[in-house]
């Protein structure tokens, strides 16, 4: 990347202090000290980050926010653009996946090393043929209901604890219809499934082993009964940050399909609610150029 390459910082006003323009300007100054011409843009509405990233062209596009902001940005990036990550969210799953510092100033300084590499992206396609990329994971059923139930106020004040507390409420207060997940001619049935492009989940919890982000495959973890998540041995394993795929059935594939006829089963992508089944998921190898 040439020293005179322009960069744009796209910040989410609802993620940490990213909406404070002066705060983001501090990061811009760090990048300017490395020879970059930097523009700072704050998002004003849902999916605005996608529009801003699309208009940025083949520049360095720095997403300043949480995984939801990152998801919006990657859905607007051109093939020639390079993604930079400033982790200002609750879980910062992609930042962890890339091995970036979780301190935003340190992460910003890492961008000046300008060592881009290519990683895979997942692509979800709904029943109408609408596509959306995801960096880390798609969640089918249980966790999508949790994402839908957590309010911005809870996330702001309780941080990651908001998801845990809401998760228990959803677990004991909801029904979970069976989901049929197909890979080729094989059909699996689960009440909750995670289609993972990386091994981190919800922060530093793990659903699989490392290496998925550049494997050219997705790994699908199947939870046959949601109540299994609080079975003592499974719960202890989760809290010890051991991969969930060791306790549950899982398989790798380049494409999977999920449906639940007669039921409304929601889907979340990178921690943001996005539609409901039926839906397919496929891998897009080396689709994202990112500084890590």
> pLDDT tens digits for 23-73?
889 999 999 998 899 999 999 898 999 999 999 999 999 999 999 999 999
What is the count of structural domains for the chain?
A: 2
Q: Which of 114, 142, 165 is the last residue of a domain?
A: 114
Q: Are residues 93 and 125 in the same domain?
A: no
> pLDDT class for 87, splitting at 50, 70, 90?
very high
According to the model, what pLDDT value does residue 101 have?
Answer: 95
Q: Are residues 70 and 143 in the same domain?
A: no
Q: Are residues 138 and 213 in the same domain?
A: yes
According to the model, what pLDDT value does residue 153 have?
Answer: 79
According to the model, what pLDDT value does residue 161 have?
Answer: 75
Going by C-alpha positions, the residue among 54, 255, 273 that lies closest to residue 145 is: 273
Q: Are residues 16 and 128 in the same domain?
A: no
According to the model, what pLDDT value does residue 14 have?
Answer: 56
d(C-alpha 263, C-alpha 177), whole Å: 7
Specify if 50 maps to a domain: yes
Specify if 1 maps to a domain: no
Report CA-CA distances (Å) from 101 to 8, 26, 40, 95, 188: 20, 17, 21, 7, 38
d(C-alpha 70, C-alpha 183), whole Å: 28
According to the model, what pLDDT value does residue 115 have?
Answer: 84
Question: How many residues appear in the chain?
Answer: 292
Tens-place pLDDT, residues 151-170: 777 777 777 777 878 888 88
According to the model, what pLDDT value does residue 12 have?
Answer: 72
Specify if 292 maps to a domain: no
Specify if 282 maps to a domain: yes
According to the model, what pLDDT value does residue 239 have?
Answer: 84
Going by C-alpha positions, the residue among 189, 201, 233, 166 that lies closest to residue 67 is: 201
Segment 229-234 mean pLDDT: 90
Q: Are residues 134 and 214 in the same domain?
A: yes
Does the structure show a pLDDT above 50 at 177?
Answer: yes
Does the structure show a pLDDT above 60 at 185?
Answer: yes
User: Any idea what the CATH number is for the domain that residue 281 is in?
Assistant: 2.60.200.40
Q: Are residues 23 and 148 in the same domain?
A: no
According to the model, what pLDDT value does residue 151 have?
Answer: 79
Q: Which of 88, 114, 140 is the last residue of a domain?
A: 114
What's the whole-number average pLDDT of the chain? 91
> pLDDT class for 5, splitting at 50, 70, 90?
low
> pLDDT class for 253, splitting at 50, 70, 90?
very high
Does the structure show a pLDDT above 50 at 19?
Answer: no
Q: Are residues 104 and 138 in the same domain?
A: no
d(C-alpha 180, C-alpha 235), whole Å: 25
Range of the domain at 100: 6-114
Structure tokens at 166: 């809401």
Segment 5-9 mean pLDDT: 86
According to the model, what pLDDT value does residue 13 have?
Answer: 57
Tens-place pLDDT, residues 92-149: 999 999 999 999 999 999 999 878 999 999 999 999 999 999 999 999 999 999 989 8
Predicted TM-score (pTM) of the model is 0.92
According to the model, what pLDDT value does residue 3 have?
Answer: 42
Does the structure show a pLDDT above 70 at 15?
Answer: no
Residues 6+ apart with CB under 8 A from 111: 31, 34, 60, 62, 84, 291
Q: Are residues 91 and 126 in the same domain?
A: no
Q: Which of 58, 79, 114 is the last residue of a domain?
A: 114
User: Any idea what the CATH number is for the domain that residue 72 is in?
Assistant: 3.40.50.10330
Specify if 291 maps to a domain: no
According to the model, what pLDDT value does residue 4 have?
Answer: 44
Q: Are residues 165 and 242 in the same domain?
A: yes
Higher per-residue pLDDT: 174 or 219: 219
According to the model, what pLDDT value does residue 193 have?
Answer: 97
Q: Are residues 109 and 135 in the same domain?
A: no
Q: Are residues 196 and 63 in the same domain?
A: no
Q: Are residues 133 and 104 in the same domain?
A: no
């Amino acid at each position: 990347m040439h020293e005179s390459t322009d960069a744009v910082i796209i910040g989410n006003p609802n993620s940490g202090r990213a909406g404070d323009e002066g705060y983001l300007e501090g990061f811009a100054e760090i990048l300017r000290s490395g020879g970059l011409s930097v523009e700072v843009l704050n998002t004003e509405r849902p999916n605005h980050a996608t529009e801003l990233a699309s208009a940025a062209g083949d520049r360095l596009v720095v997403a300043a926010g949480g995984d939801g902001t990152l998801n919006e940005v990657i859905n607007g990036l051109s093939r020639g653009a390079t993604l930079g990550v400033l982790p200002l969210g609750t879980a910062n799953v992609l930042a962890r996946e890339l091995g970036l510092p979780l301190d935003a100033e340190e992460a910003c300084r890492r961008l000046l090393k300008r060592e881009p590499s290519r990683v895979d992206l997942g692509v979800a396609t709904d029943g109408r043929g609408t596509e959306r990329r995801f960096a880390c994971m798609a969640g089918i059923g249980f966790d999508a209901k949790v994402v839908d139930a957590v309010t911005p106020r809870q996330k702001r004040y309780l941080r990651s604890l908001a998801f845990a507390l809401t998760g228990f409420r959803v677990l004991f207060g909801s029904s979970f219809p069976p989901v049929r997940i197909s890979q080729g001619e094989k059909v699996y049935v689960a009440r909750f499934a995670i289609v993972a492009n990386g091994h981190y989940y919800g922060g530093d919890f793990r659903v699989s082993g490392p290496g998925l982000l550049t494997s050219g495959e997705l790994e699908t973890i199947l939870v046959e009964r949601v109540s299994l998540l609080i079975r003592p041995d499974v719960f202890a394993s989760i809290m010890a940050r051991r991969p969930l795929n060791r306790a549950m059935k899982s398989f790798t594939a380049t494409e999977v399909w999920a449906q639940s006829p007669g039921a409304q089963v929601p889907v979340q992508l990178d921690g943001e609610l996005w539609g409901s089944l039926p839906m397919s998921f496929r891998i897009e190898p080396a689709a994202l150029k990112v500084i890590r």
